[in-house]
A and B are shown apart, each in its own frame.
Chain A
Amino acid sequence: MKFISCVPKFKQIKRTAMSKLSLLTSGIIKNNPTFVLVLGMCPTLATTTSAINGFGMGVATLFVLTMSNIVISLVATQVPDKVRIPVYIVVIAAFVTILQLLMQAFTPGLYATLGIFIPLIVVNCIVLGRAEAYASKNNVTDSAMDGIGSGIGFTLSLTVIGLVREILGSASIFGIKFMDSDGILAFVLAPGAFIVLGYLMVLFNKLKSKIS
């Protein structure tokens, strides 16, 4: 008797676990911040000159996104409607500054290359977008999952763009030269960023529609 009553409970647990997982993958594929939502273009175009830079920026955003999603989902019910955006911005800016100080102190090498882009995370639409569209309306675990998912999606997209630009523009992969030449300069500069982003967006959405 006892055993039978456990079965539906187990199924329910399995279902919630599945929905948690789909929250994660949604940020990576269905709602990919870069290729589908097309949010946060400024850091995307500016930092992806190499795969490492793109990856670093992605991880920094992942951290801020997850932390701000958690805090905002906790305070959302207590915040008066009219001042919610200022409150979100203060929370996000606080986490960005904490991240900046921590990076400066413990990873000075990474800070030297990414330093000037870190403050840009404050105005990154993904962070505020996820706060407003998701975290303010959902509970803590779901919001954290959503933050991690979107963050991973952003990191992957930036790394891929960076990788393509690095291969074409500097003839190297993750800083290691595979050919003794300079590559096509345009891909390191701004025009290359737009070209690579455009083609990858097409490819991504083509593949996405095929899967679903």
Chain B
Amino acid sequence: MAKESSLKNMVSTLFIVCLVSSTLLGGVYAITKAPIEAAAIAKINSSISLVVPAFDNDPSAEAFTKEYKGNNYKIYPAKKGGEMVGYAVETFSTNGFGGKIVIMVGFNTDGTIFNTSVLSHSETPGLGDKMVEGKSNFSVQFKGKNPADFKMAVKKDGGDVDAITASTITSRAFCGAVESACEVYKLCAQIQTNKENSNE
């Protein structure tokens, strides 16, 4: 049965057990590192292709970050034949019912929202997770809306968005995230127009 405990054998046993497990973990980490990164990129790419018009460049490779209200947002430019067709902005809100919600919001070049796609969330299944496209018509109402004449807030707060029934907190967080994406997009659009002006 179990061995008698002495300081020497306790220390040596724990040392060996930890050494073996950490070596094993290191090995598995090394093996899975590449597939995990590939899976993350594949997820980002598939959501970019959902939220912007058809493109033929590699938006992940040309991604850049923009600071807005102290947070960094990643922006993926989508181009077709060298021509800019839209931007995908990776935005988030920490005000979700279950914590952080990360959303990809795509814009046409004229500033209207092309589509949105939820990257990650921990909202309640059956309630807040209806913000995911296909589970309810909530996210569809953002399609083709221009932030200039569409107020990104739920109707309860005086905005134009129909909230998900019984999930006002999630709806608010979603609107907040989309709104910051709009602001970030404006920052990019400004730079774009400035560039064009200076070229002339």
> A: which residues have CB within 8 A of B?
49-50, 53, 75-84, 86-87, 90-91, 93-94, 97-98, 101-102, 104-106, 108, 112, 116, 136-137, 169-170, 182-183, 185, 188-189
Contacts and interface: CB of A to CB of B under 8 A. Distances in A.
Q: Name which of A80, A84, A87, A116 has the most chain B CB atoms within 10 A of its CB.
A: A80
B126 A49 contact: yes
A137 B1 CA distance: 8
Given A101-B28, A182-B126, A108 B17 contact: no
25 contacts: A77-B2, A77-B3, A79-B2, A80-B3, A80-B4, A83-B10, A83-B14, A84-B2, A87-B13, A87-B14, A87-B17, A90-B14, A94-B25, A97-B28, A98-B24, A98-B25, A101-B28, A102-B28, A102-B32, A104-B39, A105-B35, A105-B36, A106-B35, A108-B40, A108-B43
A86 B122 contact: no
B166 interface: yes
A165 B42 CA distance: 33
Given A90-B18, A183-B126, A80 B32 contact: no
Interface string B118-150: 001010111100000000000000000000000
A33 B126 CA distance: 27
Nearest to B3: A80
A106 B25 CA distance: 17
A83 B28 CA distance: 26
A185 B127 contact: yes
B65 to A, nearest CB: 24
A110 B32 CA distance: 16
B127 A90 contact: no
A53 B17 CA distance: 33
Given A80-B4, A82-B10, A83-B10, A94 B127 contact: no
B3 A81 contact: yes
Nearest to A136: B2
B25 A80 contact: no
Given A80-B10, A102-B28, A106-B35, 10 more contacts: A49-B126, A77-B3, A90-B14, A90-B18, A97-B28, A105-B39, A169-B126, A170-B125, A185-B126, A189-B124
B68 interface: no
Contacts of A97: 25, 28
A49 B124 CA distance: 9
A53 B125 CA distance: 11
B193 interface: no
A101 B29 contact: yes
A66 B85 CA distance: 53
Contact of B2 (A80, A101, A182): A80
Contacts of B127: 185, 188-189
Nearest to A104: B36
Contacts of A102: 28, 32
Contact of B21 (A49, A91, A136): A91
B71 interface: no
B72 interface: no
A94 B4 contact: no
B9 interface: yes
A143 to B, nearest CB: 15
B43 to A, nearest CB: 7
Contacts of B28: 97-98, 101-102
B190 interface: no
B13 A79 contact: yes
Nearest to A107: B39
Those 9 A-B pairs whose CB atoms lie nearest each other, nearest first: A105-B35, A188-B126, A94-B21, A80-B5, A105-B32, A82-B5, A81-B2, A108-B39, A49-B125
B194 interface: no
